[in-house]
Structure 1
Amino acid sequence: MTEPATGASGRRSGRVRIARFGPLEVLAVLLPVLTVAALALVRPVDEPPVLLPPTAAPLSRTTLVCPSAVPRTGTVALANADGVRGELEIRLRADETQAIDGTARTGLKASYVAQAEGELAAGLVGTRYGDRAATACAAPQPEQWFTGVGAAAEHSSTLELVNPDGGPAVADVTVLGPDGPLEVPALRGVTVPGGRTLRFDLSEVVPSRDELALQVLVSRGRLGVHVVDEVDEVGRGVRTRDWLPAQGEPDTSAYLLGLGGKSGDRTLVVANPGDSEARVGIEVITKESQFAPADLDEIRVPPHSTKTVDLTELLADRATQGATGLVLDATTPVTAGLRTVARGDVSHAVAGGRIVERAALSLPSGPSRLVLGGADGVGVATYVVRDEDGAEIARERVELTPGVGTRIKLPSDGALLDLSVQRSSIIAAVEVGPPGLAVLPLSELVVDARVPDVRPALR
């Protein structure tokens, strides 16, 4: 504080020194005021930002992986569901091209990778087949389940990993048994070099007499994954092989279609990958109804394990004769597979994916039947069969009713099946044979790619 001046007379002077503000002091006062005024002019966002789902765009590139052949299955059939013509790039067996005009059939025993671009990519389907065995060629998936594999002398399975790309791919395989997960170092962190195929005989890497389940997770790159299942009946001289179809993620509801028309040994395997016990009920689907057998108890599957049930007597009973499939209703998501050994031939019915709009399949040569079930409402399914040149040879509309199954004989000279669904959704499979029986579950036809919603964000 400034002291007043004192004169000679001893009186204090009345003059006072006044302080002046500089530029810094003025800014220190004005800046907070201007900031508050600017913030007052900003209007809050009326609606918070939302996350939008991916949008659909026409599929412009796709890759199909066909497994190596088993004995007498050296044919690969490829076609486009919409009849689009063009050339495929063959990445395995060698870098070459193959023309598609109708259905193209190739004799080949090694694993086979085909890539399509442009209009040919949407709706490309393929099948490897031969005597008593068949499997669909599929696009690589990040996760797949195989339920009911074997690792013993009488029942063994071989896991095949195909890398369709030039760089290495890595997969982790989890093995579940009746007592829980099994430690299998040979199947952890499996690296598949680019353009290579690796095979693992489960009877060598994880010998066991139990029924097992495999989960294959691809953590790097892409892999085509297939399993060949073999039954060698000691003493009878019967040795038979077929592919065990893959399943997607576990679900609380599973439809296993394609039981064939012959009686045989039926083995159901259920896998529970969850942390809680699964209680599973079973119903049988026939062309008249869907019902739960009175003398069949609920199946209890401990966490992270498998459970095996013999259904031979149940499916040989007069009440279940002509059954088209099974329905499993579980309290927690499971996977399941039914293995049938009849007249020296093995086949598999697995939990199929739900078809909402359309499915297609390149048909193997010979007799085949379309099996439908699991309709979630009254609707209509229309199937079209084309020959090897792409000409339509059969078309039929089928009324869909919940709680019943349908088995339809297809033309033996059919090369392509196109199935569309309206006002409902269904589960579908194709039974191939005789000779023998192979079951090919159908899945939703991929014609669009999913493009994520990407927008600039403020930091």
Structure 2
Amino acid sequence: MTDPTSPGRRSAPAIRGALGARIGPLEILAVLVPLLTVLALALVRPVDEPSSTHPPTDVPLTRATLVCPAALPGTGAIALANADGATGDVTVRLPDEDTVALAGTTRTEVKAAFVAQAEGELAAGFLAVRYGDTSAVACSAPQPEQWFTGVGAAPEHSSTLELVNPDGGPAVADVTVLGPDGPVEVPALRGVTVPGGRTMRFDLADVVPTRDDLALHVLVARGRLGIDVVDQFDELGAGTRSQDWLPSQSAADTSAYLLGLGGKPGDRTLVLANPGESEARVELKVVTKQSEFTPADADEIRVAPGSTETVDLTELLRSGAAAGALGVRVDATQPVTASLRSVAGGDLSHAVAGARVEARAALAIPRGPARLVLSGADGVGVATYVVTDRNGKEIARQRVELTPGLASRIKLPGKGAVVDLTVRRSGVVAALEVGPPGLAVLPFPELVLDGRVADVRPALR
């Protein structure tokens, strides 16, 4: 028998480890296969899942629609203009189909609700205002959501909600009402359907009679609507009787400037609304040219969730410390909406929480003396305003330094038809006071120069 250990026999190849253990081919593969698998997976990049949502694209505005509410007594005039001086024909949709030639500022007389549409280069910077001797309102584009704070539903103080449908199809709106004791059920204002080209009005004294100050939240669920509120103050007997439009606020906020007191002493009423689910604690400050300060005897205001709170500021704003006040500032722990109602010299006016202007704003100026009020700068910056006359000719230009805590009130030229405001390096809140006779206050909205196109793509199944 041959000895297996004899030199004449060749054994199978083997590898011995450091400890002398024999490692065969199977053991080698058991180590190499997992290692190679890990290396291969490290080189493979996972497939990126495509996003199912895409932001809209900003494009130059090519069509703009403005809605002017029906006239109050003595306010049949409407002024149309373009902030950049563009000229052309504007299409009138309501009350009748028509065209209006726009060159500079064009004025027309219409008492019914008025809807105008500008296209092409006229769309960006398209402006309109309805006005009279003691009342004025900036005509605005339909918005999906608006707040009106401080409306009334009593004989002495009443308000009327007006909904204008500028399109051919029906539009639907839901109106939520807040009062001092919380939300108020008003079935007549739920699921309101406005037929195409029609106007509907709701006298709050009829649909929700109360002596309390209320807030309205109007949410458009379908279509488009022009939304306005007429506010009326009527002392019984031979007392003061006046009415004006109550400007809207787009959303609740934790800080707001209410500018435009007109300079005359009067009765001042602050109304706050808290749409949230937590109590809001509100601090009040008086805004003057030199400073913003909290009066020594001003208490913190508490607004319960889903409710309104009314505060009489007459004595505070008549005090020596508040002399020369241009408005008030409210700072809250929860987002609130706010308005300051004034009855001065027998005339009703409103200062509301104005939107912050970050780049550019413009208004068509009603006839009469006008002042530009600026406040609420959030940094050191500069504002430049340009005033043009009804022919589009520049008649005034001024640069105003913006500083936090300081405010400005600037008299504008008597023949001004459009005021164009540009701000740099700081946001600012701006309002336009118009009068006497009477006082109308118009907050400046940010000028809309671009439109948004939704990103629509085919779905993959």
- The answer, yes or no, to whether TM exceeds 0.5 is yes
Q: Percent identity?
A: 69
Q: How does 1:142-181 map to 2 (within 5 A)?
A: 142-181=144-183
Match in the other structure for 2:45: 44
Match in the other structure for 1:133: 135
| Aligned mates of 1:378, 1:199 — CA distance in 2 | 45
Match in the other structure for 1:199: 201
Match in the other structure for 2:61: 59
Query: What is the CA-CA distance between 1:52 and the residue it aligns to?
Result: 5.6
Match in the other structure for 1:336: 338
| Aligned mates of 1:139, 1:425 — CA distance in 2 | 22
Query: What is the CA-CA distance between 1:221 and the residue it aligns to?
Result: 0.5
Secondary structure of 2:72 counterpart:
coil
| Aligned mates of 1:127, 1:87 — CA distance in 2 | 18
Letter in 2 for 1:300: R
Query: What is the CA-CA distance between 1:457 and the residue it aligns to?
Result: 6.4
| Aligned mates of 2:223, 2:281 — CA distance in 1 | 36
| Aligned mates of 2:238, 2:43 — CA distance in 1 | 85
| Aligned mates of 2:319, 2:70 — CA distance in 1 | 38
| Aligned mates of 1:71, 1:238 — CA distance in 2 | 16
Query: Which one of the candidate residues 295, 298, 301 is aligned to 2:297?
Result: 295
Tell me if 1:96 matches 2:98.
yes
Query: Which one of the candidate residues 260, 264, 268 is aligned to 2:270?
Result: 268
| Aligned mates of 1:359, 1:140 — CA distance in 2 | 18
Tell me if 1:75 matches 2:85.
no
Query: Which one of the candidate residues 363, 366, 372 is aligned to 1:364?
Result: 366
Query: What is the CA-CA distance between 1:160 and the residue it aligns to?
Result: 0.4
| Aligned mates of 2:460, 2:221 — CA distance in 1 | 31
Q: How does 1:15-26 map to 2 (within 5 A)?
A: none
Query: Which one of the candidate residues 227, 242, 245 is aligned to 1:243?
Result: 245
| Aligned mates of 1:363, 1:185 — CA distance in 2 | 39
| Aligned mates of 2:76, 2:304 — CA distance in 1 | 41
Query: What is the CA-CA distance between 1:236 and the residue it aligns to?
Result: 3.8
Query: Which one of the candidate residues 202, 208, 211 is aligned to 1:209?
Result: 211
- TM normalised by structure 2 equals 0.89
Match in the other structure for 1:430: 432
Letter in 2 for 1:171: A
Match in the other structure for 2:385: 383
Secondary structure of 2:387 counterpart:
strand
Deviates more, 1:319-328 or 1:338-347: 319-328
| Aligned mates of 1:43, 1:421 — CA distance in 2 | 51
CA RMSD of aligned residues (A): 1.7
- TM normalised by structure 1 equals 0.89
Structure 1 gaps, min length 5:
1-35
Query: What is the CA-CA distance between 1:346 and the residue it aligns to?
Result: 0.4
Letter in 2 for 1:185: P
1:425-454 deviation digits (Å, cap 9, x = unpaired):
100000000001000000100000123445
| Aligned mates of 1:43, 1:103 — CA distance in 2 | 65
Query: Which one of the candidate residues 100, 107, 110 is aligned to 2:109?
Result: 107
Query: What is the CA-CA distance between 1:44 and the residue it aligns to?
Result: 2.9
Match in the other structure for 1:5: none
| Aligned mates of 1:170, 1:206 — CA distance in 2 | 20
Letter in 2 for 1:282: L
1:213-243 deviation digits (Å, cap 9, x = unpaired):
0000110100000000000011343210000
Aligned residues: 422
Match in the other structure for 2:398: 396
Match in the other structure for 1:18: none
Deviates more, 1:44-53 or 1:386-395: 44-53
| Aligned mates of 1:108, 1:231 — CA distance in 2 | 25
Secondary structure of 1:132 counterpart:
coil
| Aligned mates of 1:410, 1:312 — CA distance in 2 | 28
Match in the other structure for 1:26: none
Letter in 1 for 2:293: F
| Aligned mates of 2:288, 2:238 — CA distance in 1 | 32
| Aligned mates of 2:308, 2:166 — CA distance in 1 | 32
Match in the other structure for 1:189: 191
| Aligned mates of 2:454, 2:370 — CA distance in 1 | 40
